[in-house]
Chains A and B, each alone.
Chain A
C-alpha cells in the first residue's frame, strides 16, 4: 500500500542549509508535495514536483527527486528562525483524490 516516511526531527543553526528527507512507496505517484505547518495552524503548500522532473528550485527552496530510490528531499537555503515548523511530504496518484502525508519533520532553527 501507499506509505510516506520522514524523519521526525531536524535541528539547524540560523543561516545554515536544512535538508528534509522523505521516502515513498507508490511508484505511480504523479506529483509530490511539500507542505509547511506552523504551530496551531493549518498546512500551507510550499512547493511540488512532477514525477518526471529531477529538481525544482523556487527561491530558497530546492526539491530533489530520485525516482529510482523513491526519495524526495527539500533543501532550505539560509534557514531562518521563521522557517521553524513541521514539514510534511505528500503524494497523490492520478486515480485518487487522496493526499498521502508523511508523519512530518519538525524543523527547529537555533539562533
Chain B
C-alpha cells in the first residue's frame, strides 16, 4: 500500500544532542514537507522540498536542517540550536500540481529530557 511513514513514533533527546527524524514515502510525490505542531496551535512549516536536491526554509527553520537526496526520503534533523524542540513533528507529501492535497505521516513526538 502506498503511504508515508515516519519513524520513530516517540523520541527522547538529551539537551545538547542532535536527533534525526525519518520520513519516507512511496507515493511518487515530488513535494515533501515538515511541520511542527504544538498543543492548541495549528501546524507551522519548518522546511519543504519541491524536488530532489532542493529545499526551502519555512516559517520556523531555525535550529532545524533537512536533506533531500532521494525522492522518497526527507529526513529532518533537530539540532542543539533549537531551544524548544519538544513538539509533535509531522511529515507530509503531495503532488506538485496538487499542493494542498497533502498526505501526512503518523507523526513523531519528540521530548527533551
| Residue positions of A touching B, CB distance < 8 A | 4, 8, 31, 33, 40-45, 48, 88, 90-92, 97-99, 101-104
Contacts and interface: CB of A to CB of B under 8 A. Distances in A.
B31 interface: yes
A90 B35 CA distance: 14
B102 A99 contact: yes
14 contacts: A8-B40, A40-B107, A40-B109, A41-B106, A42-B105, A43-B104, A44-B104, A97-B50, A98-B45, A99-B43, A101-B42, A101-B43, A103-B40, A103-B41
Interface string B30-59: 010100000011110100101000001011
Nearest to B56: A97
Interface of B: 6, 31, 33, 40-43, 45, 48, 50, 56, 58-59, 90, 92, 99-107, 109
Nearest to A31: B100
Contact of B104 (A4, A8, A42, A104): A42
Contacts, number: 59
Contacts of A99: 33, 43, 45, 99-100, 102
Contact of B90 (A4, A31, A42): A42
A42 B106 contact: yes
Contacts of B42: 4, 88, 101-104
A43 B100 contact: no
Nearest to A89: B42
B107 A33 contact: no
A91 B41 CA distance: 16
A69 B64 CA distance: 37
Given A42-B105, A97-B48, 4 more contacts: A43-B43, A44-B104, A99-B43, A104-B42
A99 B31 CA distance: 12
A66 B48 CA distance: 30
A48 B56 CA distance: 26
Contacts of B50: 97
B1 to A, nearest CB: 15
Contacts of B33: 97, 99
